Amino acid sequence: MRRFAGACRWVWNRAIGEQQRLRAAGEKFSGYAAMCRWLTAWRNDPDTAWLSETPVQAQQQTLKRLEASYRRFFEGQGGYPRFRGRGQDAGLRFPKALDCKLDTDNQRLKPPKLGWVRMRQSQPVEGTVRNYTLTQERGRWFVSIQVEQPDVMPAAGLVPTLGIDFGVKLFAATTDGECVAPLNALKRQQKYLKRVQRSVSRKVKGSKNRRKSIDRLGRVHARIAAQRNDWLHKLTTRWANEHPVIAIEDLKVAAMSASAQGTASAPGKRVRQKAGLNRSILDQAWGEARRQLEYKTAARGGAVVPVEPAYTSQRCSACGHTAKENRPTQARFACEACGHSENADLNAAKNILAAGHAVWVARPEACGAEVRRARPVRGRRAAARKQEPAESSAAQAVAPAGIPVL
């Protein structure tokens, strides 16, 4: 499989070289069909006849990915495709179910020109198999099986029933009263990780021992990522099974974890403290938790409702009074107006659920479907919207009884 993946990488690099040659000669870009003709010539060439030992389907899919990369570059959505070095293989993709046989009873797979290969099946394969993708990660091979399932119709009459407040000291607090302690997969192995990183820095650059140390460091990072991903999958699956519609904060993780180093003319303050906070934020993987919740709730006919996170931790869930003095400590909430007191994260989760109700009810077209953030309206559409009568705002819906509209 490593040899097959290396052949696909050679096809990728050779195709980029041909495209650059055509561009220097003033010719137009050659699409997927033309590159497939190049591939046929390369496989029939005696100097590169070893390409015929690799399944042609995987090489064709490599060219298809290269064409998509060029299209994104032409549209201004990405950079120019780069050559790939050794070890930068994208994997093997087989687009048809007949190209790769699957034996779920005996947990084995038969890719073209490889024979039967044992696998550890992590979950049942339900639906019509469409394609297979074999990828390598730090010496371990994984197979991703894409299946086609019947469309899930959005369930009618659903409303948000769970609000989740994400944090660092507590990974999540929910309106069900659940406080989820953080996994801190990176923090728990930070001492061992530093020792492995120190081992890499002590090796001579370009030596085989340094290459071995780098591979060892990569395996440590892969294990940390696998632990975090497994933990998140179990947690988000339980939430999605119990609550089809979930309200969460629309957190801007990239902005929250930005460096405070500043510039040479305007250096930042408390840079090391901010770096530690950034490491803790990224260790929680809030973005990955949201991604998993979005597709899992959609598969069950529900959705994730992102709400504005501003003042959710300072607003009283009982009376609605908002003030920073309501948070005397990081863990306790005490309203100055009505005297309501409880865990600060649980109070924030209730505010998020109430805001999710307001967003859900005010946008009935989103009920039962995926809720997406509205894009700003510009140009003629914006001018036409300004001229709409004020009566159009009368279509605003009212939240259910007991749920304040925030």
Residue 156 belongs to some domain of the structure: no
1 and 28 in a single domain? The answer is yes
Q: How many domains in the chain?
A: 2
Residue 405 belongs to some domain of the structure: no
- At residue 354, the pLDDT reads 92
Neighbours of 219 (CB within 10 A): 15
101 and 142 in a single domain? The answer is yes
212 and 109 in a single domain? The answer is no
- At residue 198, the pLDDT reads 95
- At residue 325, the pLDDT reads 85
Beta strands in 100-191 (DSSP E): 101-103, 108-110, 117-118, 128-137, 140-148, 162-166, 172-174, 179-180
- At residue 395, the pLDDT reads 34
89 and 228 in a single domain? The answer is no
Q: d(Cα 192, Cα 182) in Å, to the nearest integer? A: 19
All residues at 6 or more sequence positions from 129 whose CB lies less than 8 Å from its CB, including other chains? 97, 102, 145, 146, 147
- At residue 223, the pLDDT reads 92
- At residue 97, the pLDDT reads 67
266 and 124 in a single domain? The answer is no
With 0-12 / 13-18 / 19 or more C-beta atoms within 10 angstroms meaning exposed / middle / buried, residue 199 is: middle
With 0-12 / 13-18 / 19 or more C-beta atoms within 10 angstroms meaning exposed / middle / buried, residue 291 is: middle
Q: Give the pTM.
A: 0.76
Residue 406 belongs to some domain of the structure: no
Tens of pLDDT, residue by residue over 304-362, are 999 999 888 888 988 888 888 888 888 888 888 888 888 889 999 999 999 998 988 87
Domain finish residue from 100, 116, 150: 150
317 and 381 in a single domain? The answer is yes
Domain finish residue from 150, 176, 198: 150
What one-character-per-residue DSSP string does 189-204 give? THHHHHHHHHHHHTSP
Residues paired with 247 in a beta bridge: 163, 305
- C-beta of residue 31 within 8 angstroms of C-beta of residue 15: no
Residue 401 belongs to some domain of the structure: no
Residue 402 belongs to some domain of the structure: no
168 and 120 in a single domain? The answer is no
Coil, strand or helix at 263: coil
201 and 115 in a single domain? The answer is no
Residues noted as catalytic? 165, 249, 345
Query: Tokens at residue 306, please?
Result: 């992102």
144 and 166 in a single domain? The answer is no
- At residue 243, the pLDDT reads 92
Tens of pLDDT, residue by residue over 278-308, are 999 999 999 999 999 999 998 888 999 999 9
Residue 138 belongs to some domain of the structure: yes
Counting as low any pLDDT under 50, the low residues of the chain are 364-406
325 and 353 in a single domain? The answer is yes
Domain finish residue from 97, 128, 150: 150
Residue 221: give the domain boundaries: 162-395
Residue 223 belongs to some domain of the structure: yes
- C-beta of residue 152 within 8 angstroms of C-beta of residue 300: yes
146 and 6 in a single domain? The answer is yes
216 and 84 in a single domain? The answer is no
